[in-house]
Amino acid sequence: MSRKRALGWWRSARLIERGVLACSPVTRYKRVVVKLSGEALAGESGWGVSQQMLQRLADEIIALYDNDIRVAVVIGGGNYFRGRMAASWGISHAEADNIGILGTVMNALMLRGVLTARTDADIRVMTAIPIQSVAEPFIRLRAMRHLDHGCIVLLAGGIGQPYVTTDYPSVQRALELEADALLVAKRGVDGVYDRDPNVHPDAERYQTLRYEEAITRGISIMDRSAFILAHEQGLTMHIFDVTRRGAMLDVCNGEDIGTTVQA
């Protein structure tokens, strides 16, 4: 038995004990893109990076890897700076977005560091802006090759342009990499509701939702442009609470947690 496979089995057993990993070997998805917001990395504080949250997310990603699921992760940067803060700082929106783009790279490098310490998988960081000294440039065919060879791919920098959040690039990358589904991990939100559950206690959560309805109703859990692109290309999207242990693997194993959005 190879050292990598033995380590994978040992880690899988440990994660099962801790409630992170499900026992079922049957998976409906073999290649996924995970969308992690910067706020998800920050944990309860909403700013910076929580070491505990970073380690938990690393375990969730490793659980996918140990179950032979090809995984790429699109990472946001809102835990450092958001474009809507531009006015209060007296700087242009484009400049603020560029700062946020660099924040996504910082998050990717931190996640790579934690993943590298916890698994012997090959971890690749790819960016939409050239930063050759710390990451590879995103080239679709190269990213596909990394996934085909069993690498975990971390995608930073959005699409490298201002005025675009990481919602749209997460859909774009999922389509480019021919992912079976996009897993959207939200902080403090366990799915899509018909009304704001923070304002309306009787709000009802959708178990399944069609893109047409989401767009028509103006549901803002993701950018409208992301919903439109996913709808046009028939991409399945799962929206769930990032704090739910084992959520990513449960979705891949066929459990419909959170809200499933489909064309």
**What is the pLDDT, as a whole number, of residue 49?**
85
Residue 208 has pLDDT above 90, yes or no: yes
Instruction: Give me the mean pLDDT over the 152-164 stretch.
Output: 94
Beta-carbon contacts of residue 180 (< 8 Å; ≥ 6 apart): 28, 29, 30, 31, 32, 236
> Which pLDDT value is given to residue 22?
46
pLDDT confidence band for 9 (50 / 70 / 90): very low
Position with higher pLDDT, 206 vs 86? 206
Q: How confident is the model at residue 218 (pLDDT cuts 50, 70, 90)?
A: confident
DSSP 7-70: HHHHHHHHHHHTTSS-S----S-SEEEEEE-HHHHHGGGSSS--HHHHHHHHHHHHHHHHTT-E
**260 neighbors 207 (Cβ within 8 angstroms):** yes
Q: Find out whether 263 and 214 touch, Cβ atoms under 8 Å.
A: no
Between residues 196 and 108, which one has the greater pLDDT?
108
Determine the Cα–Cα distance for residues 5 and 56; give it in Å rounded to an integer. 22
Instruction: Note the pLDDT tens digit of each residue in 11-47.
Output: 555 555 555 544 445 679 999 999 998 888 887 776 7
Kindly tell me if the per-residue pLDDT of 97 is higher than 90.
no
- The rounded distance, in Å, linking the Cα atoms of 206 and 193 is 6
pLDDT for the residue 230: 95
Give pTM, 2 decimals. Answer: 0.86
Rounded mean pLDDT, 189-205: 84
- pLDDT single digits (tens) 45-87: 767 888 899 999 999 999 999 999 999 999 998 888 766 667 7
